Amino acid sequence: MSNMRSPDWDPKSAAVLRDQRAACDEMRERCPVAYSDLLGWSLFRHEDVVRVLNDPDTFSNVVSRNLSVPNGMDPPEHGQYRRIIERYFAPQTMQAFEPQCSSIAADLVRSLRGRVALELMGDFAHPFAVRVQCAFLGWPASMHEPLRLWAQKNHVATLAQDRPAMADIAHEFSGYVLGLLQPRRDAGIQGHQDVISSLTSQQIKGRPLNDEEIISILRNWTVGEISTIAAAVGVVAQYLAEHTELQQQLRTQPTLLPDAIEEILRMYGPLLANRRVTTRTVEIGGRTINAGERISLNWVAANRDGLVFTDPQSFRLDRDASANLLYGAGIHVCPGAPLARMELRVAVRALLDGTTSIDPIAQRPPTSAVYPASGFATLPLHLTFPSQPSTHQR
């Protein structure tokens, strides 16, 4: 039985939490298929992760006791819901939303003027992620602070695996959605049209989506969007602060931003891992994994695999990004990737356009996020604005 195995590693040990990327790299080389009491089986090699992503029959996405639409579903149910979800991330939808997203980012950057130093995660990354998510969903500005606090509580409860707290937090989110659902149903086509009102008109299996399904869709979007976008903004900002030549190059050549962001996030992933469960006994990397066992796909290690990416810890703008697993692969590739890519490009462009320099603060190093998060918990940076003298010390 799996619970009698000796663990190969401890994902929450002090050594791992001190530098998650280095620990994941070390596991990929030392023990690429590793067992732990916390995660079950962790896969660190790109080849093994891709194998799982391309075999949903053997590696199921139904890993939660709660309804998770559509990423916590398997075919054919997954495809039926996925077709509904993908409509919200169509190119014309992203194009229409981009000006509002850009305005949010630019306003936030302007609000930072006059600050000698700032903490980028709390002052920009998290507020940006929350505000653009509310704007995308059509939620009022009054939801900004409740949603920010909700995301924070959700992260703390998930880290602690506090099941009662997680249940309370899920119930809190359901209350937010239900409070917005009924007025839209009552108003019908005459009322305010947004993502929630649109979801009330969608059909699945010949019937309208029910409340539980709509809440699940919105919760998955919100949890993934806020935490991952904020983490990604922090990762990119810190990298640019440490690499001033690239920072200046992107100011003068903004068309390079999409490729630069993808490459930075390949090296320093904003999302650590994702889950699956086996439907039959399999062998991976010489180790036998029984049916019904948990699998953890380690994105960070897979995207830094030297067998796939030449000199994987070096930044290369000309790198072929087709093997990058930043947004996954296979039938469960992230449906919100077009939105995430646009938001990240807009956020980084706003930071570059609104400043003349982004620099580290030598006396205040960043603190890393801890499992299950990636990126930074705090990120002190110095932003120099046009006509503002530089007073920081590197």
pLDDT for the residue 238? 97
Residue ranges for the chain with pLDDT beneath 50: 1-2, 393-394
CATH code of the region 17-32+70-271+311-384: 1.10.630.10
pLDDT reported for residue 243: 98
The pLDDT score that the predictor gives to residue 152 is 81
**Domain extents for the chain?**
17-32+70-271+311-384
Question: How confident is the model at residue 1, as a pLDDT?
Answer: 41
Q: 193-200: long-range contacts at Cβ-Cβ below 8 A with a sequence spacing of 24 or more? A: 193/138, 194/137, 194/138, 194/139, 195/88, 195/136, 195/137, 195/138, 196/137, 196/138, 197/138, 198/88
